[in-house]
Amino acid sequence: MSRLQGFISQLFATPGSPAASSDETLLARYREGDGAAFEILYARHRQGLYRFLLGLSGKPELADEVFQDTWLSLVRSTSQPQGRATFRTWLFQIARNRLIDHWRKHGAHQPLHDSYDEQLHAIGDETNDPEQLLNLSRDSQRLESALQTLPADQREVFLLRAHGDLDLAQIASLTETPLETVKSRLRYAQHKLRRLLAEEVMT
């Protein structure tokens, strides 16, 4: 991510702005020329966004490319969240679209377009915080392996919840998926990850 970080440091070497401001306020300030506001937004969201892209794509080099494209698109754009969308939802939507664009451009298989029968994997309503499930893993490589066993649509919902910190309604809106389907996908992802990570602890 050094290319993007260098780009940011060159363009936005301005006095700091209050870190307590909301994302939307910071975006407005950035659009008005406050480069430091962008730096705060970048610091807030870079880790979660990158982890989302890495988990969804399964390829560090692709995640890095799309991550940089997402932020550069925001830098060069004059658009902003529409309607009731939050900055975070909007940012993850840009990243998701950039990843899908990459798959299309390179004629790659697009796993998010696969159909999946939720009813084949009906499970109970037991819930775990995605962050708690992430913490069960002894190391990131084992966690990535477990995540990659999930169908892409379930993995996406889990990653948006865990790394994007989006609520289920926001995820439904972002992915253009019915809310009940999002709930089902998250439950299934949690159920399988809980089982896989528990097995890992026992080994």
Give the global pTM.
0.71
pLDDT by residue, tens only, the chain of 203 residues: 555 555 445 444 444 445 668 998 999 999 898 989 999 999 999 999 999 999 988 889 999 999 999 999 888 887 777 766 789 999 999 999 999 998 888 776 566 654 443 433 333 334 455 655 555 444 466 777 888 889 999 999 999 998 888 999 999 999 999 999 999 999 998 888 888 777 654 44
Report whether 104 contacts 96 (CB < 8 A): no
DSSP H or E stretch at residue 189: helix 179-202
Q: Is residue 48 helix, strand or coil? A: helix
Nearest to 159 by CA among 200, 183, 131, 181: 131
Separation between Cα atoms, residue 47 and residue 1, nearest integer Å: 11
What CA–CA distances, in Å, run from 45 to 39, 89, 94? Answer: 10, 11, 13
Report whether 39 contacts 46 (CB < 8 A): no
For position 179, what pLDDT does the model report?
95
How is residue 1 annotated by DSSP?
A: -
Domains in the chain, start-ordered, CATH in brackets? 1-113 (1.10.1740.10), 114-203 (1.10.10.10)
For position 140, what pLDDT does the model report?
62
What CA–CA distances, in Å, run from 195 to 125, 146, 157, 174? Answer: 15, 10, 18, 28
Is residue 112 exposed (0-12), middle (13-18) or buried (19+ Cβ within 10 Å)? middle
